[in-house]
Amino acid sequence: MTIVSVAYPLAPVGPDAVGGVEQVLHTLDRALVAAGHRSIVIARADSRIAGELVPIPVMPVDEDCRGAVHATVREALAGVMAQADVVHMHGIDFAATLPPPGPPVLATLHLPPSWYPPAALAPTRPDTWLNCVSLSQQETCPPGAPLLAPVPNGVDVATLGATRHARRGFALMLGRICPEKGQHLALAAAHVAGVPLLVAGTAFPYPSHLDYLNQRVRPLLDRCRRWIGPLGIARKRRLLAAAHCVLLPSLAPETSSLVAMEAAACGTPVVAFPAGAIPDIVEHSRTGFLVRDAAEMAAAISRAGDIDPEACRAVARARFGMDRMVAGYLAHYRQLATIPA
C-alpha cells in the first residue's frame, strides 16, 4: 500500500518529537517502511522520516499564519493524492486541509472531540472516516460521527523495558508547557512533598502558553524543582527509568497518555489525576496512584516506592506495545483501500 500521512504542520515529526501525535506518526511511518509499504509524509521540513518526506516550510506558531499553512498543506497533498491508497490525517486542523473527493481519508482524533470544530466530526467529503485512540474518548464523540474502531496508542515497550538505571529521588513530569497539562500543580505537590522535580517539555510560543509559563510555572521553580526543556529520546528514557515517579496532573480529558505507558514500561509508577482515559492506563495501587488534587499528589509521591517495578513492566508488556497499534492501523488501511489481509 501507499499511505500518505499528513502531520500537524507546526511541529516536526521524528524520534525526538515532543508531542504524542508526532511520536505516533513517527512510529507508523517506520512500521510501514519496515513492512514493505510506501510511506509518504507531509510534515515540517525539519522532520526525520523513514519514508518519503514532502516538506512543509517551518512557519511561526502564529494565528496570522494559519491560513497560509493550510494552503501549503493542501498544495502538498494535491501533489501526491494520485499515488495514495489511503490518506491518514493527524492534525487537529485536518478539516481545513481535506482533499477533494478521491482516495479514502482516515483522520485520527488524537485530542478530545470537543476541541475539534463540530463540522470536522461530520465531514461531508465522501469516504472520510475518523478513529479515536481510546474507548473512553470514543464515548464522547457526537452521535453519527463516521467512526472506525478505536486504535489504542502504543510505545516501544521492549526498548523501554531494557532501559535500566539506578533509582533517584526525583519526580519527573513530561509534556507541553501549557495550562491544561498542570505543571503548576506538579510543582506545588513537589514543594509539599519536599522532593526534587524535573519538568521537561517545550513551551510553544502561543501567548496563553507563554503567560502560563511566566506567571504560573516560573515562580515555583527553584534549585530542586527545575524546568529542563525538551528531551531527546535517549535522555527521556534514562530519566524515566531513574525517576522515583512520574506526575500527570492533567486538567484536560486526556484521550490517552504515551508518557504513562512509557513510564510503566520503564517500571516507574505514575501519580495522575483521573482525567479522561488516564484511569484506563494507570492501575491504582498497582502501576501508580490516581489522585484528586495537588495535596493528594504530594501524599502519593511518598508512597510511590511501594509500587513494584516489575508489575509495571508486566502491565506495559501486556497492554501497551506499539505492535498492537501498528496492526490496528494496518487493518484500517486495508479495509479502506479494500486490500485483503
φ and ψ of 291, to 5 deg: -130, 165
For 27-37, how does the pLDDT look when each residue is reduced to its tens digit (9 = 90+)? 999 999 999 99
pLDDT surpasses 90 at 341: no
The class (CATH top level) of 2-154+321-337 is alpha beta
Q: What pLDDT, on the 0 to 100 scale, is given for residue 229?
A: 94
φ and ψ of 107, to 5 deg: -115, 120
Section 87-105 average pLDDT = 96
pLDDT band at 111 (very low <50, low <70, confident <90, very high): very high
For 155-197, how does the pLDDT look when each residue is reduced to its tens digit (9 = 90+)? 999 999 888 887 889 999 999 999 999 999 999 999 999 999 9
3-state secondary structure of 6: strand
pLDDT-wise least confident of 73-77, 281-285, 318-322, 335-339: 335-339
Task: Please give the residue that has the higher pLDDT: either 60 or 81.
Answer: 81
- Judge if 2-154+321-337 and 157-319 fold alike in CATH terms: yes
Q: What pLDDT, on the 0 to 100 scale, is given for residue 279?
A: 97
Section 252-278 average pLDDT = 97
Section 136-146 average pLDDT = 96
Section 84-97 average pLDDT = 97
Domain range summary for the chain, segments of one domain joined by + = 2-154+321-337, 157-319
**Cell reading at 275:** 482525567
Domain 157-319, what fold? Answer: Rossmann fold (3.40.50)
Task: Write b or e for each residue in 280-297: b if 16 or more Cβ atoms lie within 10 A of its Cβ, otherwise e.
Answer: bbbbeeebbbbbeebeeb
Strands (E), 38-168: 38-44, 52-56, 86-89, 105-109, 128-132
CB burial of residue 133 (10 Å; 0-12, 13-18, 19+) = buried
Strand 225-229 relative to strand 197-200: parallel, antiparallel, unpaired?
A: parallel
pLDDT band at 61 (very low <50, low <70, confident <90, very high): low
